């Protein structure tokens, strides 16, 4: 079965600083999803990557999928308190079935 | 469009009881998936329903079951509750078109005493 490892597990940054979260898969990624979760709440969809080398951006968040499709990174530029939360990467198993495997999450705190 | 809704948001039950959780998907979405989130195991896939049929199931005991209705609304049931079933249960819906991004509801927080 596929496993996703996220690093770091937690991160505390000063407001305005940049940061990167990594997600490494034990198998080739067919679809890689990034979600954000506020504690105890539902997941908010951020971005989805499918092609090797693909990069997507939304506001100050950029996600990349490496050429070999086994690692993805999420980069936040000029962090703000509103970026605080838990970031989760999820992998599609490539069968077309809607069953995602998730990493353990990265808890981000942004200090004003 | 309205998002995914889940009811109830919070639930307290005792061991041995059973519970039913409900999920209404985004209008037009026919696939509904359920996940369990706990501090120890993280976010784990339970099952997926499409057109009233379960087409994928995670590694959970038979006490966990679900169904989907003709309007795509879904319910999941847990029988003979155990303390370890305490978790946040999340429902996600997706379209059958394109990449099939899953959109999640706010979750139901189940506490088993």
pLDDT computed for residue B25 by the predictor: 97
Q: Would you say residue A40 has pLDDT above 90?
A: no
Cβ atoms B60, B36 nearer than 8 A? yes
pLDDT in tens, B42-52: 999 999 999 99
In sequence order, the β-bridge partners of residue B64 are B78
The radius of gyration of chain A from alpha carbons, rounded to an integer in Å, stands at 13
Nearest by CB: B45 against A43, A48, A99:
A99
Instruction: Read off the tokens for A95.
Output: 């069968």
Is residue A67 within 8 Å of A55, Cβ to Cβ?
no
- CB-side exposure of B59: number of CA atoms within 13 Å? 5
Task: Look at A51 and A72; give whichever has higher pLDDT.
Answer: A72
B33 to A98: CB separation less than 8 angstroms, yes or no: yes
Predicted pLDDT of residue B97: 62
Residues of A within 8 A of B35 (CB-CB) are 100
Instruction: Please report residues of B whose CB lies closer than 8 A to that of A33.
Output: 101-102
Write the pLDDT tens digit of every residue in B92-112. Answer: 999 876 567 899 999 999 999
Residues 9-68 of B with CB under 8 A from A: 31, 33, 35, 42-45, 48, 50, 55-56, 58
């Amino acid at each position: 079965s596929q496993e996703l490892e996220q690093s770091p597990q937690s991160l505390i940054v000063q407001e305005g600083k940049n940061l990167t979260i990594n997600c490494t898969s034990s198998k080739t990624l067919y679809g890689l999803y990034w979600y954000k979760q506020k504690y105890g709440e539902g997941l908010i969809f951020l971005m989805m990557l499918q092609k090797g080398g693909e990069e997507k951006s939304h506001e100050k968040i950029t996600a990349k999928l490496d050429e070999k499709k086994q690692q993805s990174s999420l980069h936040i530029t000029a962090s703000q308190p509103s970026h605080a939360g838990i970031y989760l990467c999820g992998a599609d198993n490539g069968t077309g079935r809607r069953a995602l495997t998730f990493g353990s999450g990265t808890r981000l705190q942004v200090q004003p | 469009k309205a998002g995914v809704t889940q009811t109830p948001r919070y639930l307290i039950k005792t061991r041995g009881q059973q519970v039913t959780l409900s999920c209404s998907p985004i209008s037009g979405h026919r696939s509904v998936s359920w996940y369990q989130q706990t501090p120890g195991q993280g976010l784990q896939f339970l099952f997926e329903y499409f057109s009233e049929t379960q087409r994928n199931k995670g590694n959970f005991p038979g006490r966990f079951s679900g169904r989907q209705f003709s309007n795509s609304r879904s319910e999941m049931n847990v029988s003979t509750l155990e303390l370890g079933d305490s978790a946040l249960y999340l429902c996600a819906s997706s379209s059958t078109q394109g990449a099939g991004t899953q959109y999640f509801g706010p979750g139901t927080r189940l506490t088993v005493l």
